[in-house]
Chain A
Amino acid sequence: MDWYEVASLLFGAFCVAILGIPVATTRYRNPRMRRPTFLVPGLGALLLGALTFAGCAKVASPRGWMPPIAWDSFLLVSRKTGEVSLINIEDGTPVWRFPTDNDVRPIAFYARPVATQDRVYVGGYDGNVYALDKRDGRLAWTFKAGSSVIGGLALEEVTQSLLVPTDDGRLYALDLASGEVRPGWPFRSEKGIWGAPLAQGNTVYVGSLDGKVYAIDAASGAERWHVDLGTGVISDPVLAGGLLLLGATDRRLHAIDVASGRLAWSTSWRAGNWFWAKPFVQGETVYAANLDGRLYALGLADGALKWIFEGEDAQPVRSHPVVVEGVLVVVARDGKVYGLEPETGQKRWGPLALDEEVLADPLVKGGHVILVTRQGQIFRVDPGKGQVEAIAVR
């Protein structure tokens, strides 16, 4: 319970005490006075109405949708709001969790974590990046970015830096060992960065809600070029065939030729909502999930529409699709999982109902798709058989 909820309850009790008690005891203080019969029920109704209204008007607090990552037989997930835990996926045993200290309150985790040889790095909605020991979850260092980390973290291998995008439009490159900001960084865009950066060679690509896609020199943090799409870039970028593919809030998918730094194509049509999910590319086809509840298959070279798949109830799809074992797997927010033919978009199986919301990206491990629901359940989907099983965590 947050402090203001406690304060609200105390204040409610105070209201009842100073107003309800005198009214209720009026008759006893002055027996000749007729107690108005409607007053107490009226006040009760008013209180009840206020409580209900306060409940209805409250905005949902951040829950987080951190995608799971895995190494060996371990799975790093965020099953509770503001907490990450390492689980042995073979027997469901929890290994460690973070934070264990009450003074550390990351609020929620949205960003994709990064794992290196001995550490994992997680970005919190509280604006901090935490470097944790892989074995025991011990905190190695904290970097205070000062603004929520929503877009995924990324590893830049040339300079061995951790790339951290923030909600205030900055992109940091941190030294992996110490957490210190590299010289020349952070890079600044005009609005928040909600998509993950992509490091390729000595160039970092990132899209910003200011409408621009930037190519940045990994060593110096200097801008090489940018393309102004004129609309917020919200998805993680994908590089395929020399094209950088990104989804945007103008309901289009865009492709940028990274060699020339120019826009190669944008879909001539608009979908029903934002392309928030990271596009998935296989061969010459781009699979782009949309918040309108549809999955669009496009030609990589020109963005020509091949087919559209529509899930049940037009539920938003924020998790990116994946092709595993020759099956295109897509999961909607309502937890319905579909297995499709990658070439035609015809349904092969499903929907498999998880009965819980899914907004986090899936993880492919050992020919299976791992999904983590917003309620913290972990599911393993077998795309070949079209079956799903819950992973029990002890």
Chain B
Amino acid sequence: MLVASSGRNPWDVLFIDPMINILLLLNNVFLGYFGVAIIVFTVLMRVVTLPLTLRQYQSTRALSAIQPRLQEIQKKYKDPRRRQEETLKLYREAGVNPLGCLLPMLIQFPVWIALYRALVVMVGGTPEGMVSLAGRIYPWAYLYEAVPLRQRFLWLHLGRPDVTFILPILVGITTWIQQKVSTPSSAATREQQQMNQMLNWMMPLMFVWITLAVPSGLGLYWVVSNIIGVVTSYFVYGSRGLGWRQLLLPQPTARTVSQPKGKREGHVKGRSRSNR
């Protein structure tokens, strides 16, 4: 007699539970090292969503490439309707869908949220956490062997924040680099450029802050995910002339708006070349 679990919400059954069970499977395959299971699972998830990521990057790159022409249109046409028409025309000519970089990201969101939730359920390691985890494990003896999960990995206790600050710092550095290599270097407006610069600072600091409060298992996931993001960006965008110096030092603000037209065009062209 098999009694099926009931009263579960579809989100848990369709997304979170499968991820938990795959993580348990990987945990057993990798000899009970749950940290390794998290790393391998992160890599697998990034590989599965790679087509969407590539599409997102390609759309971002295409949008970045037509930024100079978009700026021209904004300058040239004061009438909002005409400006919109010309902008759409430019999008058609360049074969760019402005939602192209947004849609793949939106599709990936449920996957990442489910992964976060799965990790939160699994890395706690407390007996209370086990009561919650128990009902999510599929009835397969091989999976039962995984619990309770080994919480130690390298210097980390995967269920607790990293007291050595090493992991939060790693998260901060890798988020910073990923922001740098994946953010388009040309912006339509000064405000946008300022926003990009601010985000380049803000996001890593935010993630450092969050990592200080959440279990190290999540921090480990972020570090691995960021590294894969950097590698993927490298293959899509190339190095874009970003050496260590450019990565670590703030770049000077482009004076695209306030400078005379001739100088601005030259500057934008220069940036555009570097993008290629």
State whether B3 touches A292 (Cβ < 8 A): yes
Most buried by A among B129, B212, B213, B215: B213
CA distance A305 to B189 in the complex (A): 73
CA distance A333 to B132 in the complex (A): 11
List the B side residues contacting A12 at CB < 8 Å.
Answer: 209
Given A42-B195, A59-B123, A359-B128, check contact A292 B135 (CB 8 Å): yes
Chain B min CB distance to A232 (Å): 6
State whether A232 touches B147 (Cβ < 8 A): yes
Main secondary structure of the interface of A (DSSP, over half): loop
State whether B141 touches A359 (Cβ < 8 A): no
Is residue A85 contacting chain B, with contact meaning CB distance below 8 A? Answer: no
State whether A231 touches B134 (Cβ < 8 A): no
Chain B min CB distance to A43 (Å): 7
* The stretch of A50-58, A173-181, A196-204, A215-223 that contacts the partner chain: A50-58
Residue of A nearest to B123 (CB): A59
**Which range holds the interface residue count of chain A?**
35 or more
State whether A4 touches B120 (Cβ < 8 A): no
State whether B127 touches A231 (Cβ < 8 A): no
List the A side residues contacting B128 at CB < 8 Å.
Answer: 60, 62-63, 65, 359
State whether B202 touches A46 (Cβ < 8 A): yes
State whether A291 touches B209 (Cβ < 8 A): no
Is residue A271 contacting chain B, with contact meaning CB distance below 8 A? Answer: yes
List the A side residues contacting B212 at CB < 8 Å.
Answer: 4, 7-8, 11
Given A276-B134, A292-B135, check contact A36 B163 (CB 8 Å): no
Given A12-B209, A23-B198, A270-B139, check contact A54 B147 (CB 8 Å): no
Residue of B nearest to A33 (CB): B190
State whether B202 touches A38 (Cβ < 8 A): no
Given A59-B120, A276-B131, check contact A294 B214 (CB 8 Å): no
Give the B-binding residues of A (Cβ under 8 A). 4-5, 7-8, 11-12, 15, 19, 23, 36, 38-39, 42-43, 46-47, 50, 53-54, 56-63, 65, 110, 150, 167, 191-192, 194, 209, 211, 230-232, 249-251, 268-274, 276, 291-292, 294, 305, 313-314, 316, 318, 333, 359
